[in-house]
Amino acid sequence: MRKNLTFLLLVTAVVAAAVNLRAGIASLGPVLDAVLDTFGASGSLAGAITAMPGILFGVMGLAAVPLATRVGLSRALFGGMVLTLVGLALRPWVGDISLFLVLTACVVGGIALGNVLLPAWVKSHGGRHAVVLMTLYSVGLGASGALGPLSAMWFSGGDAWRWALAVWTVLAVVQVLVWAVVLPKVGRDVPGAGPSEVVADAETATKLKETSLWRSPTARFLMLFFGLQAMNAYIQMGWLPKIYTDNGVSSSTASIGLSVIGALNIVGGLFMPVVIERVRDLRPFPAAFAAVTAAGYVGLWVAPSTVPLLWSVLLGIGGCCFPTAIALIPARSRAPLVTARLSGFVQPVGYFIAGVGPFLLGVFHEQVGSWDGILVALAVISVVMGAAGIRAGKQTVIDDELTDTHWRELAGH
């Protein structure tokens, strides 16, 4: 039987999950060259590895909502956590690049389920604490992204990269133990359309369940905004250390630069969910964050080694696009079912966009051997991201767009 979770258990569950959603990926970028050298792999494989998060997030994201509908949100999340634990525990110790890739896919695939389903889980179980929990979720993500790259600095020697990746198994074990306590208390928590005050009739519930989210302009722009910010994030996680070191910056400074971005994402995670809850016109925020992101890329292009950490600070401030996009998912939906569907639409399609970027970047850089054109292109893409975010920030409820309420109101005017 489903029981209400205590506030303490809600907080513990969300934090334990959130701090595992970046470190297993962010820790790989700074040691990627060492991994390739160990296995004798070609540089072109780096593009495939850095593209894996976006692509697998898209693939697993498409399966996440149907899986949660079948087995429940908590069970689907727990399955992803176990998959991540297996990948993190075994990946550093294999002696074959193929096995390394398979286990990396396990890590990323498990994380993907958490990315898509945890916001819907918060919407379903958080009640009046939902804003606090989404804030903790965003902060946990930022902390995970900030700490992940630093593990490359904690170890030395020929096997340093193995320990830099293996250390994150500890957090994965804690996550699984916490959620093993959660599971019996929530039962089969399938996301529903919502209570009677949210969904008035069966016809409306059917529309919320079956109407394509492609029909919602807000959902489409939120997907594009999310996709472009995710592409920026995974390009930075996979390639920023190399951009720095190729321009004469030390590897330790490069790792710190990547951690600065994650640390600033913590700040964004603290205030953006509250801002979205309280501020009516959100459009200035994605516009400002996108402009700062573009400035960071221009700085990397013009003077990469002069003040390298300044460019990381700008990119980190621009990274507030992520907590903005994540917080907009529950903020632009009313019923838990729509939140789950929106998360399962925005994140998979967005991550497919994100997966293309790092791969094409790797291919292009291998051909031309220069970062100049790439950094200019990223600055332009950031402007497009801002435009999409401005539209996604408009005060609109996607439930109404799916049920024609929005269009009837427009016609009435």
pLDDT tens track for 318-356: 998 987 888 788 778 877 778 778 877 887 778 788 778
Residue 35 has pLDDT above 60, yes or no: yes
Indicate whether 106 belongs to any domain. Answer: yes
Q: What is the DSSP string of 107-163?
A: HHHHHHHHHHHHHHHHHHH-GGGHHHHHHHHHHHHHHHHHHGGGGGGS--STTHHHH
Residue 44 has pLDDT above 70, yes or no: no
Neighbour count for residue 322 (Cβ, 10 Å):
23
Q: What is the CATH number of the domain that holds 38?
A: 1.20.1250.20
Q: Tell me the mean pLDDT in the region 50-79.
A: 85
Residues of the chain by 3-state class (helix, strand, coil), percent to 5: 80, 0, 20
Give the contacts of 230 (CB within 8 A, at least 6 positions apart): 54, 57, 322, 350, 351, 353, 354
Express each pLDDT in 101-115 by its tens digit.
999 999 999 998 998
Residue that the structure tokens 């400035």 belong to: 295
- The percent of residues in the chain predicted with pLDDT above 90, rounded, is 33
Mapped onto helix, strand or coil, the DSSP state of residue 371 is coil
What is the pLDDT at residue 144?
86
Residue 409 has pLDDT above 50, yes or no: no
Report residue 311's pLDDT band, with 50, 70 and 90 as the boundaries.
very high
The domain tally of the chain equals 1
DSSP state letter for 394: S
Answer positive or negative: Cα dihedral of 265, 266, 267, 271.
positive
Q: Tell me the mean pLDDT in the region 367-394.
A: 92
The token pair at 62 is 């498409």
Indicate whether 196 belongs to any domain. Answer: no
Least confident of 185-199, 225-239, 348-362: 185-199
Indicate whether 2 belongs to any domain. Answer: no
Residue of higher predicted confidence among 272 and 31? 31
Q: Strand ranges (DSSP E) for 277-318?
A: none
What is the pLDDT at residue 406?
47
Q: Tell me the mean pLDDT in the region 380-392.
A: 95
What is the longest distance spanned by two Cα atoms in the chain?
70
Neighbour count for residue 184 (Cβ, 10 Å):
10
What is the pLDDT at residue 404?
67
C-alpha 36/C-alpha 32 separation (Å) is 6
The domain in which residue 401 lies consists of 7-188+203-412
**Closest Cα partner for 52 from 109, 92, 110?**
109
Report residue 164's pLDDT band, with 50, 70 and 90 as the boundaries.
very high
Residue 405 has pLDDT above 80, yes or no: no
- H-run or E-run covering 198: none
Angle (CA) 401-404-406 rounded to 5° is 55
Residue that the structure tokens 């094409």 belong to: 360
Are the beta carbons of 7 and 129 closer than 8 angstroms? yes
What is the pLDDT at residue 198?
47
C-alpha 246/C-alpha 339 separation (Å) is 42
Cα distances (Å, whole numbers) of residue 66 to 72, 191, 209: 9, 10, 12
Indicate whether 195 belongs to any domain. Answer: no
Express each pLDDT in 80-139 by its tens digit.
999 999 999 999 999 888 999 999 999 999 998 998 888 888 878 888 888 788 888 878
C-alpha 214/C-alpha 346 separation (Å) is 10
| pLDDT, averaged across the chain | 84
DSSP state letter for 369: -
Report residue 207's pLDDT band, with 50, 70 and 90 as the boundaries.
low
Residue 228 has pLDDT above 80, yes or no: yes
Q: Tell me the mean pLDDT in the region 148-169.
A: 85
Whole-angstrom distance between the N-terminal and C-terminal Cα of the chain? 48
C-alpha 358/C-alpha 364 separation (Å) is 10
